[in-house]
Amino acid sequence: MVAYPCCENALTVSSAGQVRPVIAERNERRLVAPELVGREVDLETLEAALAGTAAGNGRVLLIAGDAGIGKTALLRSFVARARSARAAVLVGECSETGAARPFGPFVEILGSALATYPRDVVEKSLQSHARELVRFLPERSGGRIEPSGGTERFQSHESFAMLFADLARSKPLVLAVDDVHFADPATLELLPYLARRLRDDPVLIVLTHRADELHRLHALRSVLAELERSPRTTVVRLRPLDSAQTSDMVQATLGLSHPPTSEFRRALDEVCEGNPFFIEEVLKTLAERGDLVYRNGAWQRDKDVGDIAIPDSVSGAVEQRVHALAADGQRALRVAAVIGRRFDFDLLQQVCELPERTVLDAVTAAREAQLIVGIGDPRRDQFAFRHALTREAVLAGLLQREQRSLHGAVGAELERRAGSGAAAAADALAYHFDEAGDVERALRYHVLAATEASRVFAFTAAVSHLERACTLAPVDPAILAALRLQLAQAARFGHEFRRGLEVADMARELYVSLGDAVGATTALTCMANCHMGSGHFEDAARYADEAVRTGAPLGGGPELTEAFRTSTAVAWFERDYARVHDKGEEAIRLGRECGAFNDLVQAMTLVGTITALEGRVDEGLARIREAVAIALEKNILEAADFALIYLGLALSHLGAPRLERRAAFDERVRRCRERGYRNDATLWTEIELAFVDGDWDALFALATDPQETIWSNFSALIVSFAGAAREGPKGFLERAKDARRRILASGLPHWASEASPTATLFWLAGDAPATLEQAEVLAAYAARPDASRFPYWANNRYVGPVAIFALLAAERLGDTAAIERWTALMCRGEFAHEPHTFTAGRVFAHARRAARDGRLDDALTLLAEVELLLAEGELPFALTVTRLERADLLLRRGSSGDRAAAGEELAAAVPYWERAKAKWYLAQLRRWAARRKLAFPSAPVQRSARNVTRGARPASPLSRREREVAELVAEGMTNAEIADRLTITVRTAEGHVEHIRNKLGFHSRVQIGTWVAGTG
């Protein structure tokens, strides 16, 4: 049997799915409704959502209603039915006293998963995908793990998501979180992420919250608004019971064989207004006063209704029942209310300072009065108030002085118990000592709780604790400076850049007044990073320079190293590459001296990237790879990810072979997955790789990151294109333009140039004027006075494809000036190192010039070269458009075999879009083919070797391993899935696929699948 924790009544669920209160013996006189009344339609809604989840669709259920309306009772009944339907159910609870504990209900759910699932199932997921969650298991983390930066903010989110996805593989999973109006900030951030991330997994997220608790500024309001926007979210709003339902509930609760009299029901209606909890409390109060008498198996009324005084509020009803307890019982209940919604017997006894027998009798009496319930394993002596309203009513009867005294006693006992492990209880200690007015200890534990929150990347919670700590701190400049700097860093890592700037400046002023160069340098560096995070690079450069000047007298150390690294990063964004070398080399030197490896790796990466792009390729790439090696050796995952990003981008910009580029990106993704790490830049890489592979189902599943950053906006461009190709451009054009506007607002010229892929989307939509307009960002970028300072123009991998669409749009519009401008831009000379895609754009410009001049043979030859370059550059839409242009030229030339060759061009383009399930664009291709009277391929066909790749070998038998790989390709597996199945690296799997393509003369994975099917 599994106990449902902390409900209005604790439960056990038998193997038959029956729900029973957790008590030693059933007391037939207990006044509890034995069944759910008036919620049949609501329960059907929940069960329908579970059925949809079982079909593989993630869903969210929001159960809303006033306090006492029956949210938890409905959830409890649904949990029993879900378990009977063979779904796994994990439950967590939010409480007012636990509102500061980061990820509180999900840490509880994690513990339940470890206790509920076979140990090896959870362990495998933790080791393979969710290692970050070990942070929440102090007994297994092997010591403290410090956060290395703000970009790891969502590691915990992804780790939770991957754990739940893993657990849902065997059967549907229900995640139930009760009372989310009490949720901590980290939980509120996590909930929308899980809803999006798990939308294609059989996971049902059920949340209950009080509708009457959500004032205008309540943090939950925006979370609910975001969740409710999704078509996969169902909202169940519980209404008060009507008169008939109230009658049914009273009859069931009292055990009557007939409905109560209309007079008694109306009297209850007038006071309780259909609130089930209030109805129960009133009935219990009447029974305890003797107004209801238990006789012949039911509770009966001997008095006239007019002679019965019905309590006029929940608090009044509870207060009357509390006063019915003995004096020791009342004290125990008040102490329990101060401890929190949950409490354990030992803590209660210690704070009450009463003999064990006395406290035991008090707890027993409170249980018999149905004010509290036992929870969990009965041997652990843990209890909870039957309802949050019960606890609130008890607290309302305490004087403020009495509450403060009891909070102090609870805090002191928790502190004694915690001993050297106070960090694990820091949230509770901070809460109780704060409520007690013990400023010194409240300050100490708020700071400790903030440190613990930062350790699990719950920076919003850390900010909350530190804000309170600053309020409690004595007027001591040194203490205030340290607290404000810690607050500024937490705000910065939590992307609250404005607050970070404000508080860091306060800290800087205090450190300057104290003559503390270390503190002042750190504060200035924090300010520079906040400005950089906000896209204000001139201000960032100013504060970074000041940080370097202020820290110079230190001669070294981590603070000065960070200042130089920050200055290096700002110089990179400002395209001052001489300064990147200057500041970066100093950061590298200082980092080696003091062991500041995170800053060392980032500086070395930027210096190496610039070195490679300036022409010293081997030297630059070697430095980036050294940075990767250092980060991995020191186990600094964020720094390793940073270096691997730039290694992949550098290889792309330099025109490195596709397999080499892909290996770098795959290595990055693999290492991040091993640690359950995914920030917005990592996610962008995964989305781009899924796009290139044509695995758009995975692409949409990945498109869940809630951050508004430059990288997530790049992801939005890719997702918008994929959505338009599948469903049509309507709606997606505006999304792409919004992402583009945000990128342009960043103030980064070279990143802004990468907003130009919106031109691709407008060409897909058939809007030539908008295509040309969107592409002009690149033309303007190339015309900048400083564009020649560094050839980033040539190293931007989007330039070539966008030039292709700009030229086609200009030709369609007859815009001669635009044609000449774009042709001149692309044909002004070759660079020593450039991406395949840039070369493709230049060759395409020559091809279109040849076509306009009537030199069709030259144009066809050049376009064949463009195809090869774009295939290597992995830009499928530009490749398809080029193939269609070449097909049109073949039809225009009309030589023998040209119509068949045009058909081959079309046939080569189609498989990618079929694999991607791009229904709308496939319909456009069918219309394109019909207008030209070309047969649309019903199945992928093999292209001739001249149209596939240079050096393609004739078909030959596959090796045993290659045949095995081919069969997995035919099953629709990605390279990563093949690698997992065969226990090989992703790079090896990709190499096998490339060998198979070359041996068989194929271009696509679909052709491999067709070949496997045909050969048996």
Mean pLDDT of 92-112: 83
Q: How far apart are CA 445 and CA 374, in angstroms?
A: 30
CA distance linking residue 1002 with residue 952, whole number of Å: 9
Query: Higher model confidence: residue 107 or residue 589?
Result: 589
State the pLDDT at residue 337. Answer: 93
Residue 947 pLDDT level (bands cut at 50, 70, 90)? very low
Residue with tokens 């040194």: 478
pLDDT at residue 15 in the model: 33
Residue 672 identity (one-letter amino acid): C
CA dihedral sign, ordered 383, 389, 12, 297: positive
- Mapped to the 3 state alphabet, what secondary structure does 169-224 carry? CCCCEEEEEECHHHCCHHHHHHHHHHHHHCCCCCEEEEEEEEHHHCCCCCHHHHHH
What would be the CATH architecture of the domain defined by 960-1015?
A: Orthogonal Bundle (1.10)
pLDDT of 873 reads 62
Q: DSSP states of 666-687 as a string?
A: HHHHHHHHHTT---HHHHHHHH
Q: Which residue, 599, 598, 618, 593, is CA-closest to 608? A: 618
Which of 732, 770, 734 is closest to 742 using CA atoms? 734
pLDDT tens string 202-221? 999 999 998 876 765 578 88
Radius of gyration of the chain (CA): 33
* Whole-number pLDDT of residue 186: 86
**pLDDT tens figures, 21-48:** 333 333 445 677 767 888 888 988 898 8
SS3 content of the chain, % helix, strand, coil (to 5): 70, 5, 25
For residue 792, pLDDT over 60 is answered with no
DSSP-H helix ranges across 217-308: 219-228, 243-254, 262-272, 276-289
280 vs 286: CA distance, rounded Å: 10
**Range of 87-96, 407-416, 643-652 with top mean pLDDT:** 407-416
What is the arithmetic mean of pLDDT over 684-698? 84
DSSP single-letter state for residue 1012: H
**Helices (DSSP H) in 437-556: which residue ranges?**
439-455, 459-472, 477-493, 497-514, 517-533, 537-551
CATH class of 682-938: mainly alpha
Tokens (6 digits) for 457? 């990347």
458 dihedral zone (left: phi>0; alpha: psi -120 to 50; beta) = beta
Rounded mean pLDDT, 640-648: 85
Closest CA to 509 of 534, 475, 485, 528: 485
Which architecture, in CATH terms, is 2-25+44-139+156-237? 3-Layer(aba) Sandwich (3.40)
Looking at residue 896, its pLDDT comes to: 92
pLDDT of residue 435 exceeding 90:
yes
- pLDDT recorded at residue 378: 67
What three-state secondary structure class fits 50? helix
What is the dihedral sign for C-alpha 652, 654, 656, 661? negative
C-alpha count within 13 angstroms, C-beta hemisphere, residue 876 = 26
CA distance 541 to 263: 78
Query: CA 745, 748, 754: angle at the middle one, nearest 5?
Result: 90
639: three-class secondary structure by DSSP? helix
Dihedral of CA atoms 249, 253, 255, 260 in degrees, nearest 10, equals -50
Q: Structure tokens of 800? A: 């070539």
pLDDT at 692 over 70: yes
CA nearest to 924, candidates 936, 912, 941:
936
Cβ-contact 887, 906 below 8 angstroms: yes
> Amino acid letter at 538?
E
**Does the structure show a pLDDT above 80 at 1011?**
no
What is the second-level CATH architecture of the domain 318-398?
Orthogonal Bundle (1.10)
User: What is residue 784's predicted lDDT score, i.e. its pLDDT?
Assistant: 57
Helix (H, G, I), strand (E, B) or coil at 595: coil
Average pLDDT of the chain is 81
What pLDDT does 146 receive?
42
Q: Provide the pLDDT for residue 831.
A: 58
Span 738-747, average pLDDT: 68
DSSP H or E segment with residue 719:
helix 710-727
pLDDT score of 387: 80
* pLDDT level of residue 612 (50, 70, 90 thresholds): confident
Residues near 195 by beta carbon (within 8 Å), at least 6 away in sequence: 58, 60, 205, 227, 230, 232, 233
Average pLDDT estimate for 923-950: 69
DSSP 106-141: HHHHHHHHHHHS-HHHHHHHHHHT-GGGGGG-TTTS
Q: Which helix (H) or strand (E) holds 4?
A: strand 2-4
pLDDT score at 439: 95
Assess contact for 342 and 383: CB atoms under 8 A.
yes
Q: How confident is the model at residue 478 (pLDDT cuts 50, 70, 90)?
A: very high
Residue 132 and residue 162 in contact, taking contact as beta carbons nearer than 8 Å: no
Q: What is the DSSP string of 469-500?
A: HHHHS-S-HHHHHHHHHHHHHHHHHTT-HHHH
Question: Is pLDDT of 957 > 70?
Answer: no
Taking 50 as the threshold, does the pLDDT of residue 677 lie above it? yes
Name the most confidently modeled range: 28-37, 307-316, 615-624.
Answer: 615-624
| For the chain, percent of residues with pLDDT exceeding 70 | 81
Q: What is the pLDDT of residue 623?
A: 96
Judged against a pLDDT cut of 80, whether residue 862 lies above it is answered with yes
* Averaged pLDDT for residues 279-283: 82
Q: Is the pLDDT of residue 972 over 60?
A: yes
> Which pLDDT value is given to residue 312?
62
pLDDT band at residue 704 under the 50/70/90 scheme:
low
What pLDDT shows up at residue 576?
A: 85
Q: In which band, very low, low, confident or very high, does the pLDDT at 468 lie, cut at 50, 70 and 90?
A: very high
Asked if 308 and 302 count as a contact pair (C-beta separation under 8 A), the reply is no
**434 neighbors 442 (Cβ within 8 angstroms):** yes
| Separation CA 630–CA 643 (nearest Å) | 10
Contact predicate 583/568, CB 8 Å: yes
210/69 Cα distance (integer angstroms)? 9
391-433 pLDDT per residue, tens: 888 888 899 999 999 999 999 999 999 888 888 889 999 999 9
Residue 482 has pLDDT above 90, yes or no: yes
Longest dimension (CA), the chain: 107
Most confident of 160-169, 664-673, 717-726, 885-894: 885-894
